[in-house]
Structure formats: C-alpha cells, structure tokens
Amino acid sequence: MRLYVGGLPYQTTEQDLTDLFTPVGNVTETAIIMDRDTGRSKGFGFVEMSNDQEARTAIERLNGTSLGDRTIIVNEARQRQATGSNGSQGRERRSNSSYRSDRY
C-alpha cells in the first residue's frame, strides 16, 4: 500500500523516511517530492509498504507524530487526479500569431 506523508521538514531525505517507517514494517519504496524549479523539497512524500496491514499500522503509529520540528500526516495515498497537461483547465489554447497580422 502506498502512503502519503505530509508536513515533512524540508531537509528530510528518502533515507530518513525509510528509517522512520522500517520499525513498523517492510518499506519497498520511498519518494520525497521536489520542486522542479528550485530543487527543494515540497514538504511531502510517499512510502510504499510491502502489505496493507503494515501500512495501516504505520498510519496508526506515525500519523500526528513529530519529525524534526514538524507534525507529520500519514494516510493512504489517493490516486492522482487527472488534470490537463497544459494547465489550461480544459480550455483550448490558441496561438496569438494571427493577432498582430490582423491589426496591422
């Protein structure tokens, strides 16, 4: 089961997440989400546990606990919402190339 982990201190590493969750069960994958422009952590990540029971135990034990100076949120990750890849929220994007030629 994939878990969402929010409220992470910005300096948290994937190894830190592995170390935090390993006492609860077998961690198969971790990911810290980084801002693509700055390269800095966005303060959340994901942990994949080997089975659902270990994941539920991790939620019970770790949700609301402190990591560094922050209180973390641990819950079951939801499927990512499908959004338009161009950020236009369903609107068709048209080129403005004809705009100038029509005016002048």
Only one residue has tokens 């609301």, namely 64
Only one residue has tokens 């919402």, namely 81
Query: In a structure prediction context, what are the per-residue pLDDT tens digits for the chain, which is 104 residues long?
Result: 999 999 999 999 999 999 999 999 999 999 999 999 999 999 999 999 999 999 999 999 999 999 999 999 999 999 877 765 555 555 555 555 554 555 54
Dihedral angle over CA of 34, 6, 59, 62, nearest 10: 100
CATH class of the region 2-74: alpha beta
Domain spans of the chain?
2-74
* Of the candidates 83, 35, 50, 11, the residue with the CA atom closest to the CA atom of residue 21: 50
